[in-house]
Amino acid sequence: MSQKSGYTGPLEQVGTCQWRIPKSYRDDMRVDGLIFADDKLIEQIKKDQGPEQVANVATLPGIQRASLAMPDIHWGYGFAIGGVAATDPEEGGVISPGGVGYDINCGVRLLRSNLQWDEVKPRIRTLVDQLFRDVPTGVGQSGNYPFEKPKLAQLMEQGVAYVVKQGWGTPRDVEFTEAHGRLDGADPDRVSDRAYSRGYDQCGTLGSGNHFLEVQVVDRVLDETAAEVMGLREGQITVLIHSGSRGLGYQVCDDYLDVFKGAPKRYGFSLPDAQLACAPVRSSEGQAYLGAMRAAANYAWCNRQLLSHQAREVFARVFEVPWEQLGMDLIYDVAHNIAKFEDHDVGGGCCKQVCVHRKGATRAFPPGHAEIPTAYRGIGQPVIIPGSMGTASWVLAGLPGSMTQSFGTTCHGAGRMMSRTAAVKLAAGRRIDKELDALGIIARARGHKGLAEEQPAAYKDVDQVVEVVEKAGISKKVARLRPVGVIKG
């Protein structure tokens, strides 16, 4: 499917920031499509085939309630990025690698500190340069933590607790990571030798594309109570880390897309797009992929844990005190590309366990939910929304509306509105690093192309995106963070 042409099908406004693609649009749709957006964003969203992909996902066997998309939706592989779908395994519900994505458990984590901007400002260039020297970034960069196959298998099975046991973190890091940094049922034996070889020396590396490590300042606090619980205050320095499962996760996705090619025919259903390749959750193919996907997700959590450890060490070196004295605790870590089994109301008061695909979307459980840390149950799960390089990021908290409207889910970022090729073309003859420097943001990258691809103009307005999810009642604003230093691949 080409993403170049715009969407011309039906879109009906059915609520505050909600637009429906009725299942009557196409004979093969099993449920409606539902996109969260305001009047301005919906016009941007219609410029590519993202809404058509929402309709395509609505054809999946076993899909429940609706095929959903967040306001940062844009065209992707199979599912739109920003897509959410829940399937019921007891009704032949499927699992789709395209509904998780190539970068399995791409996600973000936020560290706080007791440093204020006034203290850091005189040393910000030194700090960013040291981070760029010490934290491996870019395509093919080897990390500082190679894991031979037996240890890598343990890491993929145990998740964050494994690397914390090696001394690269604290028990608190485990507690404040989504799912405690470990999906049960991970099966390293379902991960190919090729994936093992790609993951051997990439844990603790940032990678390329839209991944980054940012030093940020809390720009403003909008919910004093929630911010206090999270330990956030205006003028404070935070560190935001955005990365995933690197080459290992990519290889797992690639391997199983190949396995799933013939599955629809074998199990007696057809798909409108080959990129939606899927198999019933209860099938041998589905179970094999789930075991491998969970292993890759655990690897990604370990990757972000090791990136945190390295960032803490740099701060300790630059400020000449242990990182613990700098108060560099983990606020939370959330996944963006994952499939998880959760209990949800699927309509009519019927609650059951479903397989929730989040492809460029963030879990946003509300206050009181048993799966979020005890410390946050009074305010809702922290949701971390990275902006584009050079623009603000946000901390949100989950609201009850997420459970009734979006399978406990909200947006994951600003969302692209320009291809990487177009962004590079737009940057011709410019120095994005110099432009960012003029805005007070120190940027370091392996090359000019990476900065050009991720320039702010390539993305939607993140402030507008989070405004939509707040108006829709699925998550609320807690604090806005502005970048002062960033490293990229």
Which pLDDT tens digit goes with each residue over 134-172? 999 988 778 999 999 999 999 999 999 999 999 999 999
Output the pTM of the full model.
0.96
Sequence-ordered list of residues with C-beta below 8 angstroms from that of 94, at least 6 positions apart, any chain: 60, 61, 62, 87, 278, 279, 280, 281, 286
The DSSP 8-state label assigned to residue 307 in this structure reads H
8 Å CB contact between 68 and 88: no
Centre a 10 Å sphere on the Cβ of residue 143 and count the other Cβ atoms it contains.
21
CA dist 229 → 225, 473, 481 (Å): 6, 21, 17
Residue 4: pLDDT over 70: no
Mean predicted confidence (pLDDT) in 41-66: 97
pLDDT digits (tens, 9 = 90+) for 172-229: 999 999 999 999 999 999 999 999 999 999 999 999 888 999 999 999 999 999 999 9
What was the pLDDT predicted at 452? Answer: 80
pLDDT digits (tens, 9 = 90+) for 56-114: 999 999 999 999 999 999 999 999 999 999 999 999 999 999 999 999 999 999 999 99
Centre a 10 Å sphere on the Cβ of residue 351 and count the other Cβ atoms it contains.
11
Compute the distance between CA of residue 489 and CA of residue 487 in angstroms, rounded to an integer: 7
Choosing from 74, 211, 369, 412, the catalytic residue is 412
* Region 12-488: CATH code: 3.90.1860.10
1: pLDDT confidence band, cut at 50, 70 and 90? very low
pLDDT digits (tens, 9 = 90+) for 326-370: 999 999 999 999 999 999 999 888 899 999 999 999 999 999 999
Our answer to whether residue 412 is catalytic in this structure is yes
What was the pLDDT predicted at 456? Answer: 74
8 Å CB contact between 264 and 277: yes
What was the pLDDT predicted at 455? Answer: 78
Residue 3: pLDDT over 60: no
